């Protein structure tokens, strides 16, 4: 029951963009370096986010990518759904038609509970939350070094 690298890399890339929000466009190359993700693979991950209008991009010199909205307006659930598809552990949760047993299936009820729990966490976490946690950690680390 793992999330793939696409969802994970997307999350890291979006956090990177959130930490640079409000400035000039960010180069994919720089995200690639900072997050240790191959540029070519990163492109494929950013692309659907652009299509979903969560990220905007500009080409050419001085181009790059930026968040389309403020970090507090972007929920992690959106990002994950774009890269991973529906947030549910089993397809029959969102699409009962694929299984004739769906209506009487108790297992499906549990998978639905599980889906809701997962969704709840991702829905209540924004990029801003991530950026703030990051900032807090960084500050914590600096304090440590100064002791």
Partner DNA sequence: ACAATGTCTATAATAATAGTAGACATATAA
Partner DNA sequence: TTATATGTCTACTATTATTATAGACATTGT
Q: Does 143 bind its own copies (CB under 8 A)?
A: no
What is each CA distance from 31 to 53, 75, 85, in whole angstroms?
19, 20, 23
Are 66 and 18 a contacting pair, CB within 8 Å? no
Q: Does 11 bind its own copies (CB under 8 A)?
A: yes
> What distance in Å separates the CA atoms of residue 104 and residue 58, rounded to the nearest whole number?
50
Are 76 and 37 a contacting pair, CB within 8 Å? no
Q: Does 91 bind its own copies (CB under 8 A)?
A: yes
Q: Does 102 bind its own copies (CB under 8 A)?
A: no
Radius of gyration of the chain (CA): 18
Which window, 24-32, 45-53, 60-68, 105-113, contacts its own copies (CB under 8 A)?
105-113
The residue count for binding its own copies (CB under 8 A) is 37
Q: Does 120 bind its own copies (CB under 8 A)?
A: yes
Q: 52: part of which helix (H) or strand (E)?
A: none
Q: Does 4 bind DNA (CB under 7 A)?
A: yes
Q: Does 123 bind its own copies (CB under 8 A)?
A: no
Residue with tokens 């809701």: 116
Residue 118 interacts with, from its own copies, DNA, none (CB under 5-8 Å by kind):
its own copies
Residue 104 interacts with, from DNA, its own copies, none (CB under 5-8 Å by kind):
its own copies
> What distance in Å separates the CA atoms of residue 102 and residue 72, rounded to the nearest whole number?
37
Pick 74 or 76: Cβ nearer its own copies = 76
């Amino acid at each position: 029951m793992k999330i793939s690298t696409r969802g994970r890399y997307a999350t890291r890339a979006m956090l990177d963009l959130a930490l640079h929000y409000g400035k000039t466009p960010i180069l994919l190359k720089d995200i690639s370096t900072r997050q240790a993700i191959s540029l070519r693979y990163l492109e494929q991950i950013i692309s659907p986010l652009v299509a979903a209008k969560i990220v905007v991009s500009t080409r050419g010199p001085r181009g790059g990518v930026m968040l389309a909205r403020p970090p507090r307006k972007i929920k992690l659930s959106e990002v994950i759904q774009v890269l991973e598809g529906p947030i549910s552990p089993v397809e029959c949760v969102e699409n009962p038609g694929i299984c004739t047993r769906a209506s009487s299936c108790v297992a499906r009820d549990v998978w639905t509970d599980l889906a809701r729990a997962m969704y709840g966490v991702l829905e209540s976490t924004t990029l801003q939350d991530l950026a703030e946690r990051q900032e807090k950690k960084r500050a914590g680390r600096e304090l440590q070094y100064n002791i």
